[in-house]
Structure 1
Amino acid sequence: MSALMDAVLAGAGAEELARTPLPTHYTAAHTRVEDVDLFRGVKHKDVRKSLHVGEVPMPELAPDEVLVAVMASSINYNTVWSATFEPIPTFTFLQRLGRKGGYAARHDRPYHVLGSDGAGVVVRVGDGVRHWGAGDHVVLSGAYVDDQDPATHADGMLSTTQLAWGFETNFGGLAHYAVVRASQLLPKPPHLTWEEAASITLCAGTAYRMLVSDNGARIKQGDVVLIWGATGGLGVYAVQLVKNAGGIPIGVVGSEQKAEVLRRLGCDVVINRSEIGIDGGGDSPELAVEHGKRLGRVIRKEVGEDPHVAFDSIGRATFGISVFVVRRGGVVVTCGSSTGYQHTFDNRYLWMNLKRIIGSHVANLQEKSECNRLFRLGHLAPVLSSVHPLDDVAEAARVVQNNDHIGKVGVLCMAPTSGLGVTDRALRERIGEDRLNPLGAPSPAPVPPSVR
């Protein structure tokens, strides 16, 4: 354990953190360039074979960057894509970024430190950083944007240079330390533990942009919203946002176990897709229409009308159904496409019924800030189904790869055990443990001192 890690875990102040030397190497979850062809010709790609945990060199800090001691992180599906080298190896992104030269060249390494979420303590700031200092407790946004690009000042996600941190960049959050731009930082909600805070920024912010923001569906009171994968990392936040807006969430899941959990989370209408026979259909517009009719009948029976909005991060397997099932003038808002990017649908039901498709990607910093505020107010709550130590990150990613999780899967990085990081106990008590831990996520065994 390095002197800096000792200082962080002891709660050292800004001056002590600033004067404690940085380690030359740190522990990180990463992929390796020599493994790029590991799954060539393999149908079932197991991320446990390609995800490594070990020492990597500490990178230099750019003037607009911050070094964060990561207390906890979480698994997103982009970690699965990275570890299966699909649709292209992420080393392609790092090489492209590195060709820009200057500080960007640091990212082109023979290893890729993954992770697009995190919560931790600032330990260093670049000379150009104004609003953050050593000792600040922060959560990390996955949107890596250039504030000198004009488009960023309208909407950071419109910037042609916008990248997904820890996926299209190096030095991500599944590690003891992470390098981020200052524009990726937000204050950590003080009532949340490290692992809770590390599970909210990417998925909740993405769901906020998709549903609430002017850049998304702009849901309102009474809107009926169809949510595919409603117990997934995005879905559990979509359900909460629709409920908060006075809408009617209709959650679709694939098992009775997940359906029961979704009822406990307060979703108004819960549909088990396997019970009504709408598994698959992504390759056939005709089958998508048939499944859409079947789903539409169930929805109308439950709420008396068709959905205003379909929230679709699933992609190929569901997109044609989404286009069909939303009402005349309705909206399909899409991101991610975890089942495939090539979407097939019958366009007649789109153009003749005046429906719209909105593409959405992550969220800009203002949207993330508004979403973060909802957590601080207790209007949104994290949904963690499991927490793993960093050494077991491959197992954690495998859970997400197999869709065996509910909500988010957390990873302890520098934090020695779960339950740490709360600085406002009174607020936590007012919101209530049942609200903040609806699944009763199990605590992992404490991390052995030898690997802290």
Structure 2
Amino acid sequence: MVTSASSDPLLDAVRAGADGRQLLDCPLPTRFRAAHLRKDEVGLFDGQTDKDVRRSIHVGEVDMPELAPDECVVAVMAAAINFNTVWSAIFEPVPTFAFLEKFGRQGWHGARHDLPYHVIGSDAAGVVVRTGAGVRKWKPGDRVVISPAYVDEEDHGSYDDGMMSETQLAWGFETNFGGLADYCVVKANQLIRKPAHLTWEEAASNTLCAATAYRMLVGVHGARMKQGDVVLVWGATGGLGSYAVQLVKNGGGIPVAVVSSEEKAALVRAQGCEHVINRTELDLGEQGMRHPKAGRILGEAIRRRVGEDPGIVFEYLGRETFGASVYVAKRGGKIVTCGSSTGYRHEYDNRFLWMRLKSIIGSHGFNYAEAVEVNRLIALGMIHPTLSAVYPLERTGEAARVVQTNRHVGKVAVLCAAEKEGQGVEDPALRERIGEHNLTLYRRR
């Protein structure tokens, strides 16, 4: 059976709000639409400067995989673009097919992932339509968002912290059957109840970035922010930064947001952030944050606003900003980092680290409990989506290109099986209480 988004009886039933029994009465298609990469195109960008992801991301039909006992099939109503989608599509720092080949050596469950195509995407929201024989807590008809932390529950390391498992993977990046498709395949321990007041596209856009920021700032494995902490947030209107500002403010901290334009400064102020630094207005010249005195100049700008140095620096930009981050953190302060989007090799003056007793904390992803906790905050209306743009599945390449070229703020979503924006709200009364002005701030700007 070959189906498309418009001719699939199961998707039609999902859209119509069918219950679990009705969904089970509809056949699971053998093929479905998906945004995917092709293994035979791994060398596509060799020697090229502009590695345009619109050339490598294809949307077409792929085969439905066999379901393992601990897995579920989810009809994806909407998904989101993350920077790992861009890395996947430019085949850097290594082609993701290398991850799939490695996974494929673990047995039949892994071998299903080692294919000549890779269905990408690490954020999604949708409806469970099938469950494996070993799944107990989820059933067809459940509305869910998906945690991209793919953890083997038989690995002993996962019982202390899922991210300490040697076999932990990023779903849709290091595994196949990701979220940018009409269907995805996930482990049951990736499922989280969808916040009832959000649309599909809003719900799909949160988990990866919001939970990453939660672990970095709030969780026991990160900076363990407390009330009154001054927190410097780089890239405060980006996917990570836009949630970091909210988490700091919601937790009683004092966010100091760094942005690159007055338009972005106005946006982060509208989120309730009082202290904003437009780094283009700092006297740094062409060297920018790599200026030898950048840390001193930035530190003075922070103290003018809040009267003290930051106790926590929220870092994910890497090479361009890391030296300044180490410098500006207060004595005994923490620099928590989860990435290096401007380069992996950092340079900083180590005297300012050891002589002032500062700490660098490496943070990667988040565990299942942290993903659930941050979605609880979203469901309570304490943290809001930062969705700025929505594309149809057919234009996934364009959506990823916007993120690749940094022509966005907040998050970019993709409609998959959902027929239009604005669908999926189950609790309109809660939505009204929270307010459209909070939920659609990034869309309106």
For residues 392 and 155 of structure 1, what CA distance do their matches in structure 2 show? 37
1: distance between equivalents of 2:435 and 2:444? 15
CA distance, structure 2, for counterparts of residue 94 and residue 45 of structure 1 = 22
- Judged with a 3 Å threshold, the aligned counterparts in structure 2 of structure 1 residues 278 and 334 are, in CA distance, closer, same or farther, namely farther
Identity of aligned residues (%): 62
- Give the corresponding residue for 2:254: 248
Change (3 A) 1:323 1:148: same
* Structure 1 stretch displaced more, 128-137 or 316-325: 316-325
Once residues 275 and 136 of structure 1 are traced to their aligned partners in structure 2, the CA distance between those partners, rounded to angstroms, is 49
Q: Residues 280, 177 of structure 1: CA spacing in aligned structure 2 closer, same or farther, 3 A cutoff?
A: farther
2:339 corresponds to 1:333: no
Give the TM-score taking structure 1 as reference length: 0.95
Q: Please tell me the residue identity of whatever aligns with 2:394.
A: D
Deviations 1:169-225 (Å, cap 9, x if unpaired)?
Answer: 000001100100000000001111000000111110110000001111111111111
Instruction: Tell me which residue corresponds to 1:272.
Output: 278
Structure 1 segment 177-192 matched on structure 2, within 5 A: 177-192=183-198
State the alpha-carbon separation in 1 of the partners of residues 171 and 254 from structure 2.
Answer: 33
Match of 1:164 in 2: 170
1:167, CA displacement in angstroms? 0.4
Q: 1:152 aligns with which of 151, 158, 175?
A: 158
Question: Is the deviation greater in 71-80 or in 19-28?
Answer: 19-28
1:232 aligns with 2:232: no
* Distance in 1 of aligned mates of 2:341 and 2:403: 11
User: 8 Å contact 2:124–2:146 — kept in the other structure?
Assistant: yes
Contiguous gaps of at least 5 residues in structure 1 = 443-452
Deviation at residue 440 of structure 1 after TM alignment: 3.2
Give the distance between the partners of 2:284 and 2:101, measured in 1 at CA. Answer: 41
Aligned equivalent of 1:350, options 344, 349, 353: 353
Say if 1:313 and 1:258 are closer, same or farther in 2 by CA, change over 3 A: same
Deviation at 1:289, TM superposition (A): 4.8
The structural deviation recorded for 1:265 is 1.6
* Match of residue 308 from structure 1: 311
- The Cα RMSD (Å) is 1.4
Q: Which residue of 2 aligns with 1:446?
A: none
**Number of the residue aligned with 1:173:** 179
Deviations 1:413-444 (A, max 9, x none): 100001000111111111111111112359xx
Give a deviation string over 1:232-254, Cα, whole Å, max 9, x none.
01111000000011111111111
Q: Tell me if the contact between 1:227 and 1:251 (Cα under 8 Å) persists in the aligned partners.
A: yes
Residue of structure 1 aligned with 2:372, choices 369, 374, 383:
369
CA contact (8 A) 2:78 2:125 kept: yes
Runs of 4+ with deviation above 4 angstroms: 277-282
**1-side partners of 2:189 and 2:291: how far apart?**
41
Deviation of 1:268 (Å)? 1.9
The match for 2:199 among 193, 196, 199 is 193
**Paired residue type of 1:431:** I
1:112 partnered with 2:118: yes
1:43 to 44, 49, 74: 49
Q: How does 1:133-152 map to 2 (within 5 A)?
A: 133-152=139-158
Task: Say which of 57, 67, 82 aligns to 1:61.
Answer: 67
Aligned with 2:135 (options 110, 117, 129) = 129
Q: Using the alignment, how far apart are the partners of 2:105 and 2:49 within structure 1?
A: 33
- 2:175 is paired with a residue whose SS is coil
Structure 2 gaps of 5+ residues are 1-6
Question: Does the CA-based 8 Å contact 2:410-2:442 persist in structure 1?
Answer: no
1:88 aligns with 2:94: yes
* 8 Å Cα contact 1:333/1:359 also seen in 2: yes
Matched ranges for 1:285-304 at <5 A: 287=290, 289-304=292-307
Alignment partner of 1:274: what SS? helix
SS of residue paired to 1:321: helix
| TM-superposed deviation, 1:278 | 4.8
**1:424 paired to 2:430:** no
Instruction: Give the Cα–Cα distance (whole angstroms) in 2 for the partners of residues 441 and 22 of structure 1.
Output: 38
TM-score by length of structure 2 reads: 0.96
